[in-house]
Amino acid sequence: MAYKTIYPYTGEVLKEYANHTEADLEDALAKGHALYKKWRKENALEERKAQLHLVADLLRRDCDKYAKAMVYDMGKLLDEAKFEVGLCADIADYYADKVDEFLKPEPFPTPAGEAYCVRQATGIVFAVEPWNFPFYQVMRVFAPNFIVGNPIILKHASNCPGSAEAFDNLCREAGCEEGAFKNLFLSYDLVSKAIADPRVQGACLTGSERGGASIAEAAGKNLKKSSLELGGNDAFIVLDDADMDEVKSLLFFARLYNAGQVCVSSKRFIVTEKNYDRFVADLKEEFAKAKCGDPMASDTTLAPLSSAVAKRDVLQAIKEAIDDGAQCIYGNELVDLPGFFVMPTILVNVTKDNSLYNREIFGPVGVVYKVKDEAEAIALANDSSYGLGNTIFGSDLQHAREVGEQIETGMSCINAGFTTLPELPFGGVKNSGYGRELSRLGFNAFVNEHLIFTPKETIARHK
């Protein structure tokens, strides 16, 4: 069976799940579509608001249960998982609270008459989600679509079926109608079939470029709208006037949170000459604080990677980088524990011809680059096929923002680690994907912005 919970701390298979069948998919499509039609007729917005608030309440009440499901699936620290559950509750509340404002008809002034747009549901959205934030990634799609009246069918990552099932049960417990949210353990073939089905009106994926290309291809072939949240190789730019104490305080979080398996973790540290030596010393010191161990224990600070394959891939990427001339100045030693741990590792001397130069490492590995000045930092940050996020450190905030605006990414954080909040848009450019999740922009992703236009002649005739 493809869908399994294998506990990354021990390697033990905790549970296997049978795949859903084509008949299960048909049932989900039929129920989702019937519900979409019903909601278009009856609206039921007040009911959905109450259900979404209840989803938030249940998440907060049963935080431990949901957090543990994630820990068993993909190994993150329990405290990180609890934070994720809380964030999901905030996202659910946010959309339930904001929907009236987001649904207000938007006027489009024209001398030709009266025009406005209403935002309406379009139908089932098919979501393909990754394992690194098993609840948060699903909530980013579920909350805005559910509240507007788009049913969701989820295909989650094959290594987090426990979390997928828990999310499905959560929706049921909150009283969401049948068809509103359905998790299915599907093969890739059935995913393509689902996206081709006329009852599905949109497809989204968070994951790798490979996965994204395949979902976008299925969507494009069938003229469906799609949105992709893909990988990143985010820069962490330290300008001459950076407050180095502030920088140091964020280094552990920037690269080691979630064992480095974050699309927006800082993967490339780009530091001007002035601060380089201090920066490298600080990064080593912060990485040395990592304590590998039981993800459920509160004194563990570095979780195992999500799977044996993830560990193999990270070690292989480090090896290839070193073979290509990179120098390892910290880490890359075996961790003497049974789980899928990788020691925090720092690489320097990664030149343009190195395999790592334009590659995302999804694990606790930081690459440090020394640059002459700010212009060189910006050029290096932009020399990437990715464009998800980045962080810029400088004491002159306005100047740091102006540097941020010169980086070809979807998100820039100033003097802060990467940040996600319900009210802030999330997404990238270039090979990091297209479309935005969260905020008002995420709400608009799969809505019909329906124009209602009355020409002035018509208005005059009907006075």
In whole angstroms, the minimum distance from the beta carbon of 385 to ligand NAP comes to 12
At CA 140, angle to CA 397 and CA 447, rounded to 5?
Answer: 105
In whole angstroms, the minimum distance from the beta carbon of 450 to ligand NAP comes to 28
Question: Residue 293 or residue 410: which is nearer to ligand NAP going by CB?
Answer: 410
Quote the CA–CA distance of 363 and 260 in Å, as a whole number. Answer: 4
From residue 235, how far is each of 222, 268, 356, 390, 420 by CA, in Å?
36, 5, 14, 5, 17
Among residues 107, 115, 191, 189, which one has the least CA distance to residue 153? 191
Question: Residue 52 or residue 164: which is nearer to ligand NAP going by CB?
Answer: 164
Q: Which helix (H) or strand (E) holds 82?
A: helix 78-103
Contact between 400 and 394 under an 8 Å Cβ cutoff? The reply is yes
Residues found near ligand NAP in the complex (CB under 6 A): 128-132, 155-158, 188, 191, 205-208, 210-211, 214, 229-232, 263, 360, 362, 388, 426, 428, 433
Question: Residue 394 or residue 410: which is nearer to ligand NAP going by CB?
Answer: 410
Give the phi and the psi of residue 290 in degrees, each rounded to 5.
-65, 130
Residue 421: CB atoms within 10 Å: 13
In whole angstroms, the minimum distance from the beta carbon of 130 to ligand NAP comes to 4
In whole angstroms, the minimum distance from the beta carbon of 161 to ligand NAP comes to 10
Question: Residue 184 or residue 270: which is nearer to ligand NAP going by CB?
Answer: 184
Q: Which helix (H) or strand (E) holds 146?
A: helix 136-148
In whole angstroms, the minimum distance from the beta carbon of 231 to ligand NAP comes to 3
Is 117 labeled as catalytic in the residue annotation?
A: no
Question: Residue 48 or residue 436: which is nearer to ligand NAP going by CB?
Answer: 436
Q: Which helix (H) or strand (E) holds 204?
A: strand 200-206
β-sheet bridge partners, residue 115: 453
Among residues 141, 138, 155, 195, which one has the least CA distance to residue 20? 155
Quote the CA–CA distance of 25 and 99 in Å, as a whole number. Answer: 29
Question: Residue 201 or residue 265: which is nearer to ligand NAP going by CB?
Answer: 265
Is 263 labeled as catalytic in the residue annotation?
A: yes
Contact between 251 and 275 under an 8 Å Cβ cutoff? The reply is no
In whole angstroms, the minimum distance from the beta carbon of 426 to ligand NAP comes to 6
Residue that is written with structure tokens 């828990």 in the block = 166
Token code pair at residue 368: 């440090």
Question: Residue 92 or residue 128: which is nearer to ligand NAP going by CB?
Answer: 128
Among residues 436, 454, 318, which one has the least CA distance to residue 388? 436
Please give the DSSP secondary-structure letter assigned to residue 383: S
Question: Residue 263 or residue 318: which is nearer to ligand NAP going by CB?
Answer: 263
- How far from each other are the two terminal CA atoms of the chain, in whole angstroms? 68
Q: Which residue among the candidates 80, 177, 229, 374 is catalytic per the annotation?
A: 229
In whole angstroms, the minimum distance from the beta carbon of 264 to ligand NAP comes to 7
Q: Which residue among the candidates 171, 176, 263, 413 is catalytic per the annotation?
A: 263
In whole angstroms, the minimum distance from the beta carbon of 308 to ligand NAP comes to 13
- State the DSSP string of 92-135: HHHHHHHHHHHHS-EE--BTTEEEEEEEE--SEEEEE--SSSTT
Quote the CA–CA distance of 403 and 243 in Å, as a whole number. Answer: 16
Among residues 348, 268, 259, which one has the least CA distance to residue 310? 259
Which residue numbers are catalytic? Answer: 229, 263
